[in-house]
Amino acid sequence: MTHNRLNSGTPPRVLCLLLCAALLIPAWHTAAQSFTQEALAELHAQVTPAIGIVRYALEVTNPNTGEITKRDNLALALIVSPDGLVMTHGHMVLENSQPFNIKVFLGRGDEEQEYEATLLKKPDDVNVVFLRLKSEERLRLPHVRFARGATLALGQPVALFGLLGDPLDYARGLIERRIGAILDKPRTTCCLDDAVRYGYVGGPVADAAGRVVGVIGFDLSRAEGGDLYVRSGHPLVYQTDLFQRYIDNPPSETEIETSGDHAWLGVFTQPLTDRFAEYWELPANGGLIISTVVAGSPATEAGLRAGDIIVEFDGTPIRAKLDRDVPGFTKLVREAGPGREVVVRVLRDGQPVDVTTVLGTRPRSAQEAGEYEAPQFGLTVRELTTDVRIALNLPENIEGVIVRRVKSGSVAQIARMRPGVVILRFGGHLVTNLADFQAAVEQVTADRPQEVVVFGRLGAATGFFRLEPRWDEP
């Protein structure tokens, strides 16, 4: 009875729902061009053979202590050309982390192929990294072709392709999302409406017309203001036009990006907000207030000082008003070329002053710093670079090398040495740089004394460590 009654009660409601559906679905379908199941399956078959896995080790430097930790990492690798150019997300190379031992795995199951890969120079203006697969034979790989000029609109559905996790044996999966927001600053950027798993980052994005229109990105590049969005949980879509030129003309091969080609002025700045302008009774045209002048930099030599406001650099007006405008200036200086004479126009006490300076070469960073390991003591040290000096607030007149690693159970650890100690003397030898330290270690090792006294500095204080080397150990 009950069954019957229910049956007899449903038809009008079902009818109503069907009617609504009949009215609504076609309209919605045309407006938003959603995916049919067939279309998704077809895209999956087309795109996922180009998805591989990149496994690498990452060396992460703690910018404050200089301590280095290593860890294994993996990410989605997208083949973007048949001859083995691979694109992956930009977090593989960050300011304080450097990948090494990079391997790319393509194909699945028994057909999986392993390739060693070379890291190419990371582009400045988009947060992706390119790799070149190493192979003796000419490669002909399945790859993704990006549609150019396609724009995405708010609310538009997109299909994303990526890797499922280790428990699912990195099966290639798909999900559907929508463009949830379009940001207009600092450049037009599409955000997804919801988070995606890590395995989708760097993966291809397709529109309902079946075109691959971009990839999922973590974030903006540093030049664009860096990690503005990483904490919001809304991934970005990098559209083809942002990175296609790097696929057409891949960046040069480089082990580590060197600062040697970059010009350096040696100032820290903050934007001239309208309130700062009001305080100094200046027109609200923006600019960069010099907050710190780095000792020994071209800026110091040129007589620039804290409080000067940069309004023009080498003919380019500087109109920074917000924090995110600062990286643009850094890029401008960096690309001006070391050794070039430039005119920096500053406002000093409200009056324009033209300062001529010869740009220097950007000092080496902690990452590029020379390193020396003395295994007999369990010590690895690095040269003191400008960035480490700033991070540790070390005065210019302190010269030495900084301890980066102390091996567990080593002679140095027993003597209570630890990362961050700046070695000023080693076994009676003055240490002002890495070469001094190496020479001191070699001399001490030849002399084989029972004790080696190390004089060092930690924070603002100095002190001694007494090493008792185990010379008899192999």
- Residue 291 is a binding residue for other proteins (CB under 8 A): yes
- Residue 10 is a binding residue for other proteins (CB under 8 A): no
Among 24, 41, 195, 306, binds other proteins (CB under 8 A): 306
Whether the CA torsion 98, 370, 259, 267 is positive or negative: it is: positive
Q: In this chain, which stretch among 70-78, 128-136, 257-265, 451-459 interacts with other proteins, using CB under 8 A?
A: 451-459
- Residue 100 is a binding residue for other proteins (CB under 8 A): no
What is the phi/psi pair of residue 342, to 5°? -130, 160
**Residue 39 near residue 26 (C-beta atoms within 8 A):** no
- Residue 282 is a binding residue for other proteins (CB under 8 A): no
Size of the site for other proteins (CB under 8 A): 36
- Residue 283 is a binding residue for other proteins (CB under 8 A): no
Query: CB of 270: closest distance to other proteins in angstroms?
Result: 6
Q: In this chain, which stretch among 91-99, 118-126, 199-207, 465-473 interacts with other proteins, using CB under 8 A?
A: 465-473
Query: CB of 272: closest distance to other proteins in angstroms?
Result: 10
Among 275, 375, 408, 446, binds other proteins (CB under 8 A): 275
**405-to-39, 142, 408 alpha-carbon distances in Å:** 54, 43, 9
Query: CB of 395: closest distance to other proteins in angstroms?
Result: 6
Q: Which is nearer to other proteins, 176 or 274 (CB)?
A: 274
Among 278, 301, 335, 442, binds other proteins (CB under 8 A): 278
Full 3-state SS string of the chain: CHHHHHHHHCHHHHHHHHHHHHHHHHHHHHHHCCCCHHHHHHHHHHHHHHEEEEEEEEEEECCCCCCEEEEEEEEEEEEEECCCEEEEEHHHCECCEEEEEEEEEECCHHHCEEEEEEEECCCCCCCEEEEEECCCCCCCCCCCCCCCCCCCCCCCEEEEEEECCHHHCCCEEEEEEEEEEEECCCCCEEEECCCCCHHHCCCEEEECCCCEEEEEECCCCHHHCCCCCCCCCCCEEEEHHHHHHHHHCCCCECCCCCHHHCEECCEEEEECCHHHHHHCCCCCCCCEEEEEECCCCHHHHCCCCCCCEEEEECCEECCCCCHHHHHHHHHHHHCCCCCCEEEEEEEECCEEEEEEEECEECCCCHHHCCEEEECCCCEEEEECCHHHHHHHCCCCCCCCEEEEEECCCCHHHHCCCCCCCEEEEECCEECCCHHHHHHHHHHHHHHCCCCEEEEEEECCEEEEEEECCCCCCC
From residue 357 to residue 396, the character string flagging contacts with other proteins as x (rule: CB under 8 A) and all else as - is --------------------------------xxxxxxx-
Q: Which is nearer to other proteins, 160 or 454 (CB)?
A: 454
Rounded to whole angstroms, the Cα distance separating 440 from 459 reads 24
What is the phi/psi pair of residue 166, to 5°? -55, -45
Q: In this chain, which stretch among 10-18, 113-121, 203-211, 454-462 interacts with other proteins, using CB under 8 A?
A: 454-462
Window 397 to 436, contacts with other proteins (CB under 8 A)? 416, 425
Q: Which is nearer to other proteins, 105 or 276 (CB)?
A: 276
Q: Which is nearer to other proteins, 142 or 419 (CB)?
A: 419
- Residue 268 is a binding residue for other proteins (CB under 8 A): yes
Query: CB of 273: closest distance to other proteins in angstroms?
Result: 8
Q: Which is nearer to other proteins, 252 or 393 (CB)?
A: 393
Q: Which is nearer to other proteins, 42 or 451 (CB)?
A: 451
Query: CB of 127: closest distance to other proteins in angstroms?
Result: 26
Query: CB of 455: closest distance to other proteins in angstroms?
Result: 6
Query: CB of 424: closest distance to other proteins in angstroms?
Result: 9
Q: Which is nearer to other proteins, 270 or 432 (CB)?
A: 270
Rounded to whole angstroms, the Cα distance separating 157 from 151 reads 12
Q: Which is nearer to other proteins, 92 or 423 (CB)?
A: 423
- Residue 326 is a binding residue for other proteins (CB under 8 A): no
What are 66's two structure tokens?
């200089």
If you search the block for the tokens 């700046």, which residue do you land on?
422
Q: Which is nearer to other proteins, 134 or 429 (CB)?
A: 429
Q: Which is nearer to other proteins, 215 or 294 (CB)?
A: 294
Q: In this chain, which stretch among 13-21, 87-95, 311-319, 460-468 interacts with other proteins, using CB under 8 A?
A: 460-468
Q: Which is nearer to other proteins, 6 or 460 (CB)?
A: 460
Site residues for other proteins per CB under 8 A: 268, 270, 273, 275-276, 278-279, 289, 291-292, 306-307, 389-395, 416, 425, 450-451, 453, 455-456, 458-466, 468
